[in-house]
Amino acid sequence: MHKVYLSLGANIGDRHASMSAALEMLEKAVGRVVRQSSMIETEPWGFESENMFLNMCVAVDTQLSPQQLLVATQEIERRLGRKAKSSGGVYADRLIDIDILLYDDISINTPELTIPHPHMRERDFVMRPLMEILDDATVSAMFV
């Protein structure tokens, strides 16, 4: 069993419903959600929009490999109406966004997937909810 930490965000449509649906789908497709942060409302990051985000983080126990996890989270995004992922640093409003932040204590750097998430430490909307659910050992390891 692997411990993964995911960030969820939504800023258009029924944001609460999108987050709830994503949580249900994660339980079915990825594994048991063992910890869940509170939802916070935040300004858009990296682009201009009048739509505020809801953001949260979850810890999930999974048997999926990192690549399988990526496929599963992207499929959940598609099923919830997400058309395309951001690319080349161009961000836009989204119905749902699921990012893989941490996967056990491994590091991966491929064109498709980078773990730990390369921008998580500079994003308060990720770090605030993530710090709510991390255990002390994981926090210590992150900042070594």
Residues that are catalytic: 82, 94, 97, 99
Q: Tell me the C-alpha distance between 13 and 81, whole Å.
A: 10
- The reply to whether omega before 116 is within 30° of 0 (cis) is yes
- Can you say whether the dihedral through the CA atoms of 6, 70, 123, 116 is positive or negative? positive
Find out whether 11 and 97 touch, Cβ atoms under 8 Å.
no
Helix axes 15-29, 66-79, angle to 10 degrees: 140
